[in-house]
Amino acid sequence: MEELVGEFWHKLITKRVSTEHSGAKVNLTDLNSQLAPFYRALGGAPGKVIEGASARELKLHRRFLQRVAGTHRRTNIAWQDERSVRLPPMHAIFPDKALNEALYFWLTALAAQLPTIKHWFVDNQHATLDLLKSKPGLASSYYALVDAILPLRPDLDKLEGSKLIREQAIQQALKVPGSVANLPKASGDPDPIFLWLYPEPIHGVSIDADDELDDSDVENQEEQAEQLKGERKEAKRTNDSKETDGLLVFMLESLGTWTEQIELDRPQEEDVDVNAAAAAEDLDIITLSRQRRAQSAKIKFDMDLPAPQNDDLAVGEGHRLPEWDYKRSSMLQDFCLIQPMLADDALPAPVPDRLKMVANQLRNRFSALNFQTNWLRRQTQGTELDLDSCIEKISDPNDQLEKQNFYKARSRNQRDLSCLLLADLSMSTDSALNAHQKVIDVIRDSILLFAEALSGAGDPFAIYGFSSIRNKQVRFNLLKNFSEPYSDAARGRILAVKPGFYTRMGAGIRQSTEVLQTQSTHKRLMLILSDGKPNDIDHYEGRYGVEDTRKAIMEAKRKGIQPFCITIDEGGNEYLPYLFGDNGYAVVSDMTRLPTLLPKLYLNLTGQS
């Protein structure tokens, strides 16, 4: 009964002190597909992504009931860093939903205008003023937001002293941007200005900045951030090693003679806090330990790798490829090790019974493309009359009648193109799609039906898969190469495809480019089948991976290769235009249709639809 009363009281007080308009709430995820192109159209950094920002703690005055309810300790504000634009995950500031949406677009435009902040109060005013001058169409939206936000700010009649002067300056700066040179000082933080961008949080600097588990030579690696419910947390490294760490072990009979300290990392699974997620939401910065106690993280990761006898066969020693570091604006030579892999234990297999009917239909349809038929006109002999030539002879009396070129003949020319299909085999493909299928199951069927279709067309084709474990091993799985005829052996390797590790896409594309360059065909097509953004467990996450992938795609295009990406990532529209261009990708909303859509996309790309 006490718990029931307490829960009722908590809900009552929380609702009483709430300043949100839940009926007009707008979620960032609902607008992300619109905000990303809007940001880039206004000149924003093309490599940045738009993400949800975790609430930040400000030193604000809270009313008595707010303190009782434990609310208003943290505030959703907008900011950005070199990796992304961080906007509140939801807006419910105004009772009008249209205003909440307009606030998202205004903050996105301001982020494009103000990539870095040196003086928060002055820079936001100048950026606002410049934006209103260069983009006058935003003026009506901005002033509507100002008119709506001013009544929500502290009442000037209830303030006094330095706080009154400060609030007057803020409201004047909102009404007339650029009219206030400095922010007057006062105790505490001013109420949040939701129309402005805030500086990024101050990151803690580790005493020991080197990560012992990563021997790469890239400096200033981006910290991996914890993401909860669409909100990206900031991470801070700390060295928590102490001389007293470990377990002091001794035997009673050896008391006074000998002791030994053992570094012991005790498993924590038995006392995991069930409210850990809720606790993490209350943190501004999540602290990550630098201490490698018992090398537990490395041991666990190594145990996740397949044993050599169960793994695919490594073909050769591999070779190194470069990687683009956008921070340095330079190529890191010989940075990634590409390791070709072959499923040598995969048994030859026919087409599964459930796919035989579709496979036969695709082979029959694509067999019509085996040879292209062209008409040679104005021939002295042929299978049919060339009516155009006959009409010209009759209509032009001056034409020499001895030229009896009144026929047309068929000419069969083989298609001059080759295709490489590169499939993302990262561990995310192991996720369940429905009660009967995983993502990898649909990818496997898609690859198989694509191969059946192209075997009917007679076009040279190759199929590879890739996944990565940092830059030290980018696994390049051979499913079928160009020189190998398509047979049950290749089918067996395709049917044996399984999820791998991470997605170092730039390396996979560069290796595929090298393979395609061995083909002498006029047209060379690279189809990339992916389920998400480029990523890995080192610095290859976020903007770094996106920029390297884009660089690899540009290199492929310069070498006469046409890359095209097919993704099942619903958020693909946010970053794929930057990587592949507006016409260089396709987002498949219903993944179960992918096996039949992939051959159709191939027909469209090769001009045979």
Per-residue pLDDT tens over the stretch 22-55: 788 899 888 888 898 899 888 888 778 888 887 7
The beta strands (E) that lie in 216-259 are given as: 227-228, 231-232, 234-238, 247-249
Predicted confidence (pLDDT) per residue in 531-574, tens digit: 888 989 888 988 899 999 999 999 999 999 999 999 988 878 88
Alpha-carbon distance of 41 to 312, in angstroms, equals 46
Question: What mean pLDDT is predicted for residues 284-302?
Answer: 46
Q: How is residue 473 written in tokens? A: 């091993």
Q: Which residues pair with 372 in a beta bridge?
A: 413
All structural domains of the chain, each given as residue ranges with its CATH number in brackets, are 2-198 (no CATH), 207-265+275-303 (no CATH), 323-365+416-605 (3.40.50.410), 371-414 (no CATH)
The more confident residue out of 161 and 311 is 161
The arithmetic mean of pLDDT across residues 75-83, rounded, is 83
Percent of the chain with pLDDT over 90: 35
Please tell me the predicted confidence (pLDDT) of residue 139. Answer: 92
Q: What is the average pLDDT across 99-124?
A: 91
Residue 175 three-state SS? helix
Average pLDDT of span 569-585:
86
Structure confidence at residue 560 (pLDDT): 93
pLDDT score at 145: 94
pLDDT at 147: 93
Q: What is the pLDDT of residue 210?
A: 38
Say what the pLDDT of residue 227 is: 42
Contact 326, 547 (CB under 8 A): yes
Task: Report how far residue 57's alpha carbon sits from residue 143's, in angstroms, rounded to the nearest whole number.
Answer: 28
pLDDT for res 400: 60
Q: Which helix (H) or strand (E) holds 548?
A: helix 543-558
E strand spans, 110-250: 197-198, 227-228, 231-232, 234-238, 247-249
Residue with the larger pLDDT of the pair 163 and 267: 163
249 pLDDT band, cuts 50/70/90, is low
pLDDT score of 215? 40
- At how many degrees (to 10) do helices 97-113 and 120-134 cross? 100
Q: What is the mean pLDDT of residues 276-301?
A: 48
pLDDT: which is higher, 57 or 112: 112
